[in-house]
Amino acid sequence: MVRAFLGGYLWGRLTSDELGKLVKSVDIVGDIAIVKVPLELEGRKKVIAEGVMAVNRSVRTVLNQASPVSGDFRLRGLEWVAGEKKVETTHREFDCSFKVDLSEVYFSPRLSFERTRVAGLIREGEIVVNMFAGVGCFSIIIAKHSRAEKVYSVDINPKAIELMKENIVLNRLEGRVEAVIGDAKEVVEERFRGVSHRVLMPLPAKAYEYLDAACLALKPEGGVIHYYDFVHARKAEDAKGKAADRVRERLTSLGRDFEVVFSRVVRTVGPNWHQVVLDLDVH
């Protein structure tokens, strides 16, 4: 709703030139909205924030993303613009609740469809390893809405693990989801060799590098890997096909056979850049 009506609300409050520069995408996390205000509109942040709050009455705080996502913890610089001065909230999705601290953990509401899609694929009795779990969204939704036996939920960020543990209790999933701190490669090598029917890799910046560990986590007979990647593809190019070619080269070097059983472009993340998911049946 915010994206659809923000431009209309700001018509007359910003010039037509300013409206043309406005990035209308807005992330809503709980009752916090995150906007990306271009440098040219630095002096108009307050007006834009007021517009966001006007078209979505559930928003109580507006933050501006002041720097890109970066670092091992995938954090972004945020500055308060309007409403309550806070970075903590509770996000609700698919009958689950997630405590989030946007200054210390990575969280994207734009993966909501993927979380529900993957949860719908889980078979009874499966053991799942989530290699990049954040505050536990994929893991908790899977455990809540499937008959998975166990979801091992790994992240390297101590704050994410702290919040994940709170979220496991909040959603009454003690014993079904286990929070594990550490680098996913090291954790798999030490604890999860050959244990999982399914591996999640919802961190496009790291997934390709960690494919060997994902394969190592699968049971000896193989299993499914949900692989996410960033792909550069112009309009005439096939982003999903380019991702599949890249994975094929990597898995072949590891001596693994596989089939792409599903693929989709999750979202566009920049000019000619796309986030792609491949569901890989690896054997």
pLDDT score, position 39: 84
Residue-level pLDDT at 44:
87
pLDDT of residue 42: 85
Chain segment 201-246, per-residue pLDDT in tens: 999 999 999 999 999 999 999 999 999 999 999 988 999 999 999 9
Structure confidence by residue, pLDDT tens digits, 67-125: 888 888 889 899 999 999 999 999 999 999 999 999 999 999 999 999 999 999 999 99
Going by their DSSP bridges, the two strands 88-93 and 223-232 should be labelled as unpaired
Q: Give percent above pLDDT 90 in the chain.
A: 78
Model confidence at 4, pLDDT cuts 50, 70, 90, reads: very low
pTM assigned to the model: 0.92
| Residues of the chain above pLDDT 70, percent | 95
Return residue ranges of the chain for CATH 3.30.300.110: 2-86
pLDDT band at 7 (very low <50, low <70, confident <90, very high): low
| Distances in whole angstroms, Cα of residue 189 to Cα of each of 215, 266, 270, 282 | 11, 30, 35, 18
pLDDT at 1: 41
Which architecture does CATH list for 106-282?
A: 3-Layer(aba) Sandwich (3.40)
Confidence class for position 24, pLDDT limits 50, 70, 90: low
* Mean pLDDT, the chain, integer: 93
What's the pLDDT band for 170 if we cut at 50, 70, 90?
very high
CATH among 3.40.50.10070, 3.30.300.110, 3.40.50.300, 1.10.10.60 for 2-86: 3.30.300.110
pLDDT at 3: 46
Alpha carbon distance 96, 45 (integer Å):
32
pLDDT of residue 5: 55
Tokens 């089939």 identify what position? Answer: 259
Which helix H or strand E contains 144, and what residues bound it?
helix 137-144
Q: Which residues contact residue 248 at a Cβ distance below 8 angstroms, ignoring those fewer than 6 apart?
A: 258
- Angle at the Cα of 229 from the Cα atoms of 231 and 34, rounded to 5 degrees: 95
- What ranges in 57-156 are assigned the alpha helix state H? 112-119, 137-144
pLDDT in tens, 109-154: 999 999 999 999 999 999 999 999 999 999 999 999 999 999 999 9
CB atoms closer than 10 angstroms to residue 122? 21
CA nearest to 34, candidates 59, 65, 70: 65
What phi, psi does 247 have (nearest 5°)? -65, -40
Q: Which part of the chain is CATH 3.40.50.150?
A: 106-282
pLDDT-derived band at 264 (thresholds 50, 70, 90) equals very high
